[in-house]
Chains A and B, each alone.
Chain A
Amino acid sequence: MSALWFLWGVARTPRGAVSAVVLVLVIVCALFAPWLAPYEYAIQNLPGANTPPNATHWMGTDEFGRDLMSRIIHGARTSLSVAITAIGISVVAGMTLGAMAGYFGGIFDRVVTAVVDLTWSFPEILIALLLIAIIGTGTESIMIAIAIAYLAQFTRLTRAQVMALRSETYIEATVNLGAGHAHVIFRHLLPNAITPVIVAGMLATGDAIILEATLGFFGLGAQPPTPSWGAMMSSGTAQIFIAPWIILFPGAAIALTVIAINLFGDALIDALDIRNRLREV
């Protein structure tokens, strides 16, 4: 309950309020898309293709005559679920790896650190494209690719937190009392290291939405007719002179969502006063 109360506090700052409204809107769209969307997202009406925004189609129609607004609402579901799932996997895996590296140290730590430092310096888009070439295209592949692309970031961050905590007296005391490694890691280290990782994860979700859109622009990711903001923009570029709204609205949806995530993340960082702990990323 206290966490919710805290979020409510953040949402009452000016920055927090604006971004929270946008985020809640996007999340509601994603959760209740089938009920909120005015039309079926896959129903084509070819004679009514490329209609500009009007009273019946508030955002106009795309090259198949499908209602753009319905597709954007459903697209929120694709974009958010891909980004959140991918980052979720990444956070869990990164925390496990980072905690183990930071806790056990030694050769394991050195190997993990070397690999993580190297991949961290490679652009996520390249890592994702490389992985997609190996595991194939499709929504699941995109999720795995994004998860691995961001793995380094969370591993690094968790490791730094755990390293700092490990030397604290109470942790040493627990170890000396004969507590098991798992007990120390899961009961003492991770709970204390989790806040910055969660916030970093939230910020990374914004980047992941852009990454998913970029992959969609290259024609990878969600397969038609499943709407994805990136894929919508990709097919929209060909229509840019005939029907600019096809590329305008999904672009705006991405920008708004990502800005909201960033602003809310910033507000959280300030409220939690964890900027120093996030310095590593």
Chain B
Amino acid sequence: MLLFTVKRLLLLIPVFLAISVVIFMLVHLVPGDPIDSILRVGATPSERAALVARYGLDQPILTQYVTWFGKMVQGDLGDAIILRRPVADLIAMNLPHSLALGSLALLFSTVVGITAGALAAIFRDTWFDRGVMTLILLGSTVPSFWLGLLMIMLFAVTLGWFPVSGARTASALVLPVLTIGLGGVALVARVTRVAMMDIARRDFVMMLHAKGVSRWRIELGSVLRHAMMPVVTILSLRIGWILGGAVAVEFVFARPGLGSLLITSLNQRDYPVVQGCLLMLAIAVMLGTLLGDILQAMMDPRIREGMK
């Protein structure tokens, strides 16, 4: 198992290199020169040249990349141009909020999604199945900013249970987690339900039934366990999605986070911050994939064998 993990980790190195090149280049495709936005009105060409030199923008692009990559692996993500502070500080300020929101939303969608999906599969084609799945469908087809506003109106304004916005108390996390989580619930529940129904048709399940094992034991003991593979795959691939997909929710709830930082800096053409945010998201995505692979390998030995 350890060998498997190490191999998968080594495989990530070229991927990481490729990502770093893409992120570095992508940001240089954005039109508009960041120097123009920070240069004072009426500045002389020499002032401009000094600024260009200060941010290293006068170097050949390859040199810029090597310098950037070298510093990056040491944890120095450069200085924000507009926000005038180290990018690492900005990320350190925002990442904990994103992690809290993302992990809780992931937890919520996993627990509720698997429960709902499993129950729907067990009671398949009954009013319960249809009811649960319709409700979940409703939750995932409403745009998240709209759902967020509705949540605020109901739970924060009318009932007064939670704060309207911000990130100052733990209770301020509840509504954003629910808003993001509901989208995930739909996904997890659908995958769980379909996977369980699929497994239930397999021969070994039929055999268990024939042997007279109780239905609940089969459904929860065997079917659900085997159905976890696709669920884990989906969840691990969606970690980056949950971290970064909260943009609209962070906006409505006026919360700090990587998503909102990325959007602000993108609009301000603050290259180093955009690069830093994308890099963090890419790392999260890679770690999520890795985690998913490891979990799958733990559940299914054939995958471990396949690596050899």
Contacts and interface: CB of A to CB of B under 8 A. Distances in A.
Nearest to B32: A133
A217 interface: yes
24 contacts: A118-B282, A118-B285, A121-B241, A121-B288, A122-B240, A122-B244, A123-B244, A129-B263, A129-B266, A130-B266, A133-B30, A134-B26, A134-B29, A134-B31, A210-B143, A214-B143, A214-B145, A214-B248, A233-B143, A233-B146, A251-B146, A254-B142, A262-B137, A262-B141
A122 B142 contact: no
Nearest to A14: B130
B30 A118 contact: no
Interface in B132-175: 137-138, 141-146, 149, 153
Interface string B1-31: 0000000000000010011000000100111
Given A126-B259, A279-B230, A133 B244 contact: no
A123 B15 contact: no
A145 B238 CA distance: 20
Contacts of A263: 137
A218 B289 CA distance: 30
Contacts of A251: 142-143, 146
Interface in B265-280: 266-267, 278
Contacts of B90: none
A216 B141 CA distance: 16
A255 B138 contact: yes
Given A134-B29, A217-B145, A122 B248 contact: no
Count chain B CB atoms within 10 A of each CB in A129, A233, A275 and give the residue with the most: A129
A121 B31 contact: no
B245 interface: yes
A114 B282 CA distance: 13
A interface SS class = helix
Contacts of B248: 125, 214, 217-218
Interface of B: 15, 18-19, 26, 29-31, 137-138, 141-146, 149, 153, 194, 198, 230, 237-241, 244-245, 247-248, 251, 259, 262-263, 266-267, 278, 281-282, 285, 288-289
A9 B308 CA distance: 49
A129 B247 CA distance: 10
A276 interface: yes
A180 to B, nearest CB: 32
Contacts of A122: 240-241, 244, 281, 285
A139 interface: no
Interface in A145-192: none
A206 interface: yes
B289 A121 contact: yes
Nearest to B246: A123
